[in-house]
Amino acid sequence: METGCSLCPVSCGADRKTEDGACGGGNQMKIAKYGLHFYEEPCISYRNGSGAIFFCGCSLRCAFCQNFELSRNLRGKEIGAKDLAAIFQELEERGAENINLVTAGHYIPQILKAFALYRPKIPVVYNTHSYEKIEALRAIDPFIDVYLPDLKYFSPKISLRYTGKANYFEYASRAVEFMMEKPLDMRAGKMFSGCIVRHLILPLCSNDSLEIVRWFFAHTGDAYFSLMGQYTPYGDIAAFPELNRRITRREYDKVANLVCAQNSDRIFLQQLSSADEKYIPDWDF
């Protein structure tokens, strides 16, 4: 890693050989868990589960993060490129439908070293918050089959409030447009190549969600849209009283109705029953 990290839009300038970046990532990769994961979209989890690898640290750091302990780097284990390559192989042997790199953008240089040691024989999924630089995505794109990006905020005021970054949509929209260019290959209900853009509805933010929906369906191409209703109060939200509740049926229906009005067959709708802490993994490695 070169001195002065500028891998993500934060461009914190950290020397990650000697210190952690603003994302919490250092020179060594750090993961909290890996294994077969069954809570992705049906075409990703499919029959045997997605081979998810949960990386620690995050450049976006949403206050309400459902994976708060990971994004704040509070737990996990350091691994090298050889270790990650071995995890790829182990997940394949366990029957994983794909290799799912969860919040991995701040470790792209290290992950590329793992791919140089072992190229998975099953699809590779890049699961991201989308606060990414196009240059970083281009570097890892030759190894990625499926993109699974979140498109979290449209309003700079809302992204500033919950992440401290007013420029989220500026970067994320360009990143998502890049990811939506991945050719679609869906066979027998399993995605081998393509893109699913996710959006999580937040309390009091349904109008912002409507803007996300409108933006997506003006740019969609072959991509799928996944609307999530799973928001559960979690993380560091004491200063945000509006986040101390789940979304209402009215908030959910307001956004879901606009999604359904697009008459698209490339839609996933997550039900409100998914808003439960039982779906947050146990992070004991």
Q: What is the pLDDT of residue 58?
A: 96
pTM for the full model? Answer: 0.95
Has 23 been labeled as part of a binding site? Answer: no
For 258, the token pair is 């606009």
Q: Is 58 annotated as a binding residue?
A: yes
Pairing between strand 146-149 and 124-128? parallel
3-state secondary structure of 120: coil
Q: Is 65 annotated as a binding residue?
A: yes
Angle, CA of 35, 114 and 135, to the nearest 5°: 105
Question: pLDDT per position in the chain (285 positions), as tens?
Answer: 445 999 999 999 999 999 999 999 999 999 999 999 999 999 999 999 999 999 999 999 999 998 898 898 778 999 999 999 999 999 999 999 999 999 999 999 999 999 999 999 999 999 999 999 999 999 999 999 999 999 999 999 999 999 999 999 999 999 999 999 999 999 999 999 999 999 999 999 999 999 999 999 999 889 999 999 999 999 999 999 999 999 999 999 999 999 999 999 999 999 876 655 655 566 555
Q: Give the side-chain half-sphere CA count within 13 A for 51.
A: 22
Please list, in sequence order, all residues whose beta carbon lies within 8 angstroms of the beta carbon of residue 218, skipping any fewer than 6 positions away: none
Using the structure block, give the residue that is written with the tokens 């077969």.
36
Ordered by start, the domain boundaries in the chain are 31-279
Residue 254, helix vs strand vs coil = helix
Answer whether 230's CB lies under 8 Å from 274's CB: yes
**Which H or E run includes 199?**
strand 190-200
Contact indicator for 122, 97 with CB cutoff of 8 Å: yes
Given the candidates 1.10.3720.10, 3.20.20.70, 3.40.50.2300, 3.40.30.10, the CATH classification of the domain at 31-279 is 3.20.20.70
99: its two tokens: 């290799």
Does residue 190 come out as left (phi exceeding 0), alpha (psi in the -120 to 50 range) or beta? beta
